[in-house]
Structure 1
Amino acid sequence: MRTTLNDNQRRLAGDWLPFLRWLPHYRRADLPGDLLAGLTIALLLIPQSMAYALLAGLPPVVGLYASILPVIVYGLLTSGRVLTVGPTAITSVMVLDSLQHLAATQTPTYITLALTLALLLGLVYLIMGILRLGFIVNLLSQPVLSAYINAAAIIIILSQVQSLLGISVERTPYPYELFLRVAAGIPELNPAALLIGGGSMALLIVYRRWLGDLLARLGFGPTLRFTLTRSGPLTVVILSTIIVYAGQLHETAGVQVIGAIPAGLPALQVGPFDFSHLDSLLFGAVAIAFVGFMEGISTAKSLASRTRDRIQANQELIAMGAANVASAVSGGFPVTTSISRSAVNHAAGARTGLSSVIAASMLGVTVLFFTPLLYYLPQTALAAIIITSVVNLIDFKAFRQLWRFSHAETLPFIVTFGSVFIFSIEGGIIAGVLIAALLHLYRTTRPHITTLGRIPNTEYYRERRRHEVEPHPHMLIIRVDESLYFANVQYLENYLRAAIADNPEITALIIVGSAVNSIDASALQILTSLIHEFHEYGVEIYLTEMKVGVLRKLERVQFLAQIGPERVFTSTHEAVQHVERQTFVNNSSRLS
């Protein structure tokens, strides 16, 4: 008994603290893969974290801080062995959208608001995870998410063009205004900044597309080849910094650099936080939570199919919540699961969450010893890193597929995409969710109803408009392909009334309920009144193929007793045979 109890306790502890499953039994054979993956992730995370912090309107060091403790915490708590968090482009632009109307970017007030937003985001995730509310993300449909990611990627690129060109543009929460301001500032571009930024982009493209093949021809092994091809962003950081320092281009050519970055690990402290704009911050936290978790869980499931991990959605919420709380108390800003870095982590051979711990440790070493070397890092190089990272997020194949599949499905995509540009990122999400919800309600209020007929010489019943079926002049057989509740039963009632009015010869109505999973009180009341009303017209209603759970509910409320158990059948063919026999008996009685 005690052994069973201890096993249950260990299993429960492993569910809440997944690292207890692998850390005590860590295998030496897993270490090379975790080391290589950790190194590779660090090579990506060092430049990306600084770039995404600037994108969010924060100093670059905040991005570095957000890539240390949060990455460790998530690596220990995630249910997916190769998943990793940190600053991401989409989250960063959402942070900017949430905060830029509350304070000026790069200011102490703005940084405090970013800490507060990270704390609120962490609490939202934790509450959702503890209450097992992972299913709530289903409210954000795939067309809405796809449209949002496409629009956000375009906005991110647009926001970085100014740094790439070396021009100064006043920030605005409205994307269309940003486009106009960037276009107006093009005549004032800085040639040196453009050359460095353009060269950085070209180098990143070479690393991504051609370096792997070149290294293979030169005889490099797959492991070294993989690591080198992922070091493009770090190479850009090193080379662009050397170029600016050597030519003192920040003084002679006006190239903007990130400047001094404080050395040392972030202090762990609770606060300072600013809750004076709690409503705006909480709204932003919920929006980031929805988008971040939906992106993260889709990535987790995709990678889990390769690693054979069992992804627990609610545990992922807890892990992301803990990571954001850790970010809030260590000087960071909101973090979410990174699609690209998680994929790289898996491809690099990560076996456990130790790869995240190793990557974060390397970030810690960078913050301790190497931040003075980043003084001359040009902002145009970071803009190039961001642009080349997010350009792959632009994918309109999803829209074309939606259009081919269903024109109605494209409506949430179009509304979300347009609203993001016209209003704001958060406004686009709200508009998309609302239009998707309205579309869903419209569909559920108009349940699919099909008229059936028997295929000759069989006991099978199919749609009359698609198959050659036998005529049943005195009988109407319909199948309702939806659960019945207060919002859609009126549609069914109108359909039945119209069918009976248009076909006065009908004496039997057979309702096939194979797709009806539930019936609420409103639907039950209307069905009861229809049975009595149609009986007065000489039309009898029969039920067939109803689910067991639905029949039990109907039995509890005496519905079956009212219509008579002889009017309920397990198969449509039995109901048809019964009606045919009853019709024959009635006709014989009239003839006699």
Structure 2
Amino acid sequence: MASDAEPTAVKKSSALHRQYDWLRGYGPAVFSEDLVAAIIVTILLVPQALAYALLAGLPPKAGIYASIFPLAIYALFGSSRQLSVGPTAVVSLMTAAAIATIPEGQRLVSAAALALMTGGFMLIFGLLKSGFIMNFVSRPVVSAYITGAAVLIIISQLRHIFGVSSDGQTALSLMQTLLSNVGDAKSVTMLIGGGSILTLWAVKKYLAYGLYKIFHLKPTTARIITRIAPIFVVGLCIALSAGLDLSGRFGLRVVGDIPAGLPNFAIPALSLVAYEALLIPALVIAVVAFVDSMTIAQTLGARSRTRVDADKELLGLGASNVMAGLTAGYPVNGSLSRSAVNFSAGAQTPIASILAAAFMALTALLLTPYLTALPLATLAALIIVACFSMMEFKNLWRTWVYSRTDGLTAVATFLAVLLVGVQWGVLVGVVLAMALHIRATLKPHMARVGRFPGTEHYRDAERFNVETDPAVITLRIDESLYYANARYLEDKVARLVVEFPEVTDLILMCPAVNKIDASALSSLHEINKRLMSANVRLHISELHSHVRERLHRSDFIDQLTGQIFLSQHEAMETLRSEPDWSQFSDHIDMH
């Protein structure tokens, strides 16, 4: 009996280790490092959870709820060891945009439904092995989107700094209502908000350097202290607000009562029509949250030399969002700042995230009464200072200088976020990037090439001083051939034949042709026929083996008037015209 049970136990153990490879060698030493990292991340997460709930237009408790069970669930199903999942600035802003038109009493349950649907989309993508979808969102689009979202977030939070009301989903509408109400700004609120911004900015910019230079702390320790320093700013503002009764005496807006306790598990009670209205926002949030989280996870994975699985990330993020929806939270994704702190603090395994979730649960149970007097202006300052590091204008400028096409896509994405809305910015960027890519392939670069004298290297005849033969023309094709650019190739060949009437052989040089579809094959047939009627033979050189194998499935090679050469040099050596040897004759006329 024991011998039968032992293989079963071994199989279960090996399956467990395949799923959670970080369990190998896990012991007290690793646990202590995870524990320290969890404590530090929790210190950072508490004010961020409150601040991002404010940004999403939700009660503070939604931010705390979204930081408990979703964080633990991702640790169980995700593939990154250091990614810290929870409320983030961009997804919070997208949530605010999605529920902006919903009556205030229904926003909390609508946000939970949005998280449930976002997680559902991610789970479907994960089960379909669709991790490749992040390849369709280019880095310039992501950079521009995050930069535009950061600017929009800052504008949206200015109302809390001035203590006035401001409505709208675009930069123009927000600024318009803000400026119309700025006359009602409260001086105490501005003092708290402005002072918090300056203090947080100074801490972020100079504290680590000061700790390193003056107190000779290790760089890693100095950075960790700098990361958690905002909790002391928050504590100071709470003390000032409560001790001086700034809310009662000067109208300072504060967080107010936060219900103590853990959330109940329940499916968001909304009508089918309400769920349908959230369908598109949920899909957009799912794509943005996955791309953003995957970028962070890959960066940390490279630094820790661990592998990140895109499909497993979809399942982990999907499960965490479903849990957020079932526990009165709102959509979540990976946080760059908290993940960086988690990594710097020495987190070795996802146990650090599970411990952080436990600490957030204790916060919900025990510490919420101490957060009542927290000024909203301080939370807005936390958000604004966090957005300073999200703006990547230098990257946008580098993109514009390097590639006007990518630069145009980035600028359009940035402006779309500001002028149309955050939920449409990434969609505009993706669609425009794909449209410009298709446009570029409609007329691919095709160059007539010649040989560098005395070598086997062939380059563009219009850009280099190379040898050419008017009877043997070579056209290099720098793109795969498919239905959209096939007729362009026909026109290009026709122009060459007219331009060089002496041509007897035309070589299509195909080092960059990775595919020839059925439409392009028909065009090659037509080119072969037209050249044959003009007494010009068609040849092909440097064709990839897999493309050549596919051509063998058709009768094109049998009908080809010329040959298929392994290299361009072989083609030219075979087809080049014999020189007129009479001009080199050494015969001497004696008459």
| TM-score > 0.5 by shorter chain | yes
The yes-or-no answer on 1:135 pairing with 2:132 is yes
Alignment of structure 1 residues 146-161 onto 2, 5 Å:
146-161=143-158
Identity among equivalent pairs (%):
36
| Structure 2 match to 1:587 | none
Could you tell me which amino acid in structure 2 is paired with residue 207 of structure 1? V
Alignment of structure 1 residues 83-122 onto 2, 5 Å:
83-101=83-101, 103-105=102-104, 107=105, 109-122=106-119
Q: 293-302 vs 311-320, which deviates more?
A: 293-302
| Structure 2 match to 1:589 | none
Could you tell me which amino acid in structure 1 is paired with residue 46 of structure 2? I
The yes-or-no answer on 1:344 pairing with 2:306 is no
Contact map agreement 1:62 1:331 (CA 8 A) in 2: yes
Q: Deviations over 1:122-141 (max 9, x none)?
A: 01111111111111122222
Q: CA 1:94–1:448 in structure 2 vs 1: closer, same or farther (change >3 Å)?
A: same
SS in 2 for 1:450: strand
The yes-or-no answer on 1:184 pairing with 2:180 is yes
Contact map agreement 1:479 1:513 (CA 8 A) in 2: yes
Shift of 1:269: 2.5
Choose which of 580, 584, 588 in structure 1 pairs with 2:576. 580
Choose which of 152, 171, 178 in structure 2 pairs with 1:175. 171
Shift of 1:4: 11
The yes-or-no answer on 1:363 pairing with 2:360 is yes
Shift of 1:267: 1.6
SS in 2 for 1:255: coil
Q: TM-score under structure 2 normalisation?
A: 0.93
| Structure 1 match to 2:82 | 82
Counterpart CA distance in 2 for 1:535 and 1:224 is 76
Alignment of structure 1 residues 529-568 onto 2, 5 Å:
529-563=526-560, 567-568=563-564
Counterpart CA distance in 1 for 2:407 and 2:12 is 48
Q: CA 1:581–1:206 in structure 2 vs 1: closer, same or farther (change >3 Å)?
A: closer
Choose which of 269, 274, 277 in structure 1 pairs with 2:274. 277
Give the count of matched residue pairs: 575
| Structure 2 match to 1:435 | 432
Shift of 1:273: 4.1
Choose which of 566, 572, 585 in structure 2 pairs with 1:570. 566
Counterpart CA distance in 2 for 1:444 and 1:297 is 29
Contact map agreement 1:450 1:463 (CA 8 A) in 2: yes
Q: Deviations over 1:399-422 (max 9, x none)?
A: 211121122221112222222222
Shift of 1:322: 0.6
Contact map agreement 2:224 2:344 (CA 8 A) in 1: no
Shift of 1:268: 2.0
| Structure 1 match to 2:583 | none
Q: CA 1:222–1:536 in structure 2 vs 1: closer, same or farther (change >3 Å)?
A: closer
Q: Deviations over 1:53-87 (max 9, x none)?
A: 11101100010000000011112222121111100
Q: Deviations over 1:180-227 (max 9, x none)?
A: 111222221111111111222222123223333444434666676454
Shift of 1:467: 2.6
Q: CA 1:530–1:270 in structure 2 vs 1: closer, same or farther (change >3 Å)?
A: same
* Structure 2, unpaired ranges of 5+: 581-591
Q: Deviations over 1:95-126 (max 9, x none)?
A: 1111102x134x2x111110110001101111
| Structure 2 match to 1:62 | 62
Q: Deviations over 1:381-432 (max 9, x none)?
A: 1011111111111121112111211222211122222222222122333322
Q: Deviations over 1:514-562 (max 9, x none)?
A: 2111111111011011101110101110011111111111111122111
Q: Deviations over 1:336-374 (max 9, x none)?
A: 011111111111111111111111111111110111111
The yes-or-no answer on 1:329 pairing with 2:326 is yes
| Structure 1 match to 2:587 | none
Choose which of 489, 503, 518 in structure 2 pairs with 1:506. 503
| Structure 1 match to 2:142 | 145
Q: 214-223 vs 307-316, which deviates more?
A: 214-223
Contact map agreement 2:82 2:343 (CA 8 A) in 1: yes
Q: TM-score under structure 1 normalisation?
A: 0.93
Counterpart CA distance in 2 for 1:161 and 1:451 is 59
| Structure 2 match to 1:590 | none
Shift of 1:310: 0.6
Q: Deviations over 1:461-509 (max 9, x none)?
A: 2221233221201111011111111011111111111111111111110
Choose which of 463, 470, 474 in structure 1 pairs with 2:471. 474
| Structure 2 match to 1:230 | 227
| Structure 1 match to 2:518 | 521
Counterpart CA distance in 2 for 1:12 and 1:445 is 50
Contact map agreement 1:116 1:274 (CA 8 A) in 2: no
Choose which of 237, 262, 265 in structure 2 pairs with 1:265. 262
Q: CA 1:246–1:312 in structure 2 vs 1: closer, same or farther (change >3 Å)?
A: same
Counterpart CA distance in 1 for 2:359 and 2:377 is 25
Counterpart CA distance in 2 for 1:408 and 1:581 is 42
SS in 1 for 2:476: strand
Choose which of 402, 406, 420 in structure 1 pairs with 2:399. 402
* Structure 1, unpaired ranges of 5+: 585-592
SS in 2 for 1:332: coil
Q: CA 1:452–1:222 in structure 2 vs 1: closer, same or farther (change >3 Å)?
A: closer
| Structure 1 match to 2:201 | 205
Q: Deviations over 1:21-48 (max 9, x none)?
A: 2236412221232122111110110000
Could you tell me which amino acid in structure 2 is paired with residue 82 of structure 1? Q
Could you tell me which amino acid in structure 1 is paired with residue 455 of structure 2? T
Q: Deviations over 1:410-459 (max 9, x none)?
A: 11122222222222122333322222121011011111112111121222
Counterpart CA distance in 2 for 1:6 and 1:491 is 64
SS in 1 for 2:527: helix
Counterpart CA distance in 2 for 1:488 and 1:5 is 59
Contact map agreement 1:327 1:333 (CA 8 A) in 2: yes
Counterpart CA distance in 2 for 1:156 and 1:191 is 22
Q: CA 1:256–1:574 in structure 2 vs 1: closer, same or farther (change >3 Å)?
A: same
Q: CA 1:551–1:13 in structure 2 vs 1: closer, same or farther (change >3 Å)?
A: farther
Q: CA 1:525–1:9 in structure 2 vs 1: closer, same or farther (change >3 Å)?
A: farther
Q: Deviations over 1:219-254 (max 9, x none)?
A: 666676454322222212211111111111111100
Q: 74-83 vs 480-489, which deviates more?
A: 74-83
The yes-or-no answer on 1:51 pairing with 2:51 is yes
SS in 2 for 1:299: helix
Counterpart CA distance in 1 for 2:417 and 2:215 is 47
Could you tell me which amino acid in structure 2 is paired with residue 235 of structure 1? F
Could you tell me which amino acid in structure 2 is paired with residue 333 of structure 1? Y
Q: 215-224 vs 463-472, which deviates more?
A: 215-224
Contact map agreement 1:531 1:541 (CA 8 A) in 2: yes
Counterpart CA distance in 2 for 1:305 and 1:68 is 27
Counterpart CA distance in 2 for 1:368 and 1:381 is 23
Q: CA 1:465–1:11 in structure 2 vs 1: closer, same or farther (change >3 Å)?
A: farther
Contact map agreement 2:401 2:407 (CA 8 A) in 1: no
Q: CA 1:35–1:9 in structure 2 vs 1: closer, same or farther (change >3 Å)?
A: closer
Could you tell me which amino acid in structure 2 is paired with residue 359 of structure 1? A
The yes-or-no answer on 1:244 pairing with 2:238 is no
The yes-or-no answer on 1:193 pairing with 2:192 is no
Could you tell me which amino acid in structure 2 is paired with residue 294 of structure 1? V
Counterpart CA distance in 2 for 1:560 and 1:224 is 68
Choose which of 99, 102, 122 in structure 2 pairs with 1:125. 122
SS in 2 for 1:370: helix
Contact map agreement 1:115 1:273 (CA 8 A) in 2: no
Contact map agreement 1:44 1:231 (CA 8 A) in 2: yes
Q: CA 1:432–1:494 in structure 2 vs 1: closer, same or farther (change >3 Å)?
A: same
Shift of 1:266: 1.2
Q: 135-144 vs 187-196, which deviates more?
A: 135-144
| Structure 2 match to 1:463 | 460
Counterpart CA distance in 1 for 2:430 and 2:484 is 20
Alignment of structure 1 residues 21-36 onto 2, 5 Å:
21-23=21-23, 25-36=25-36
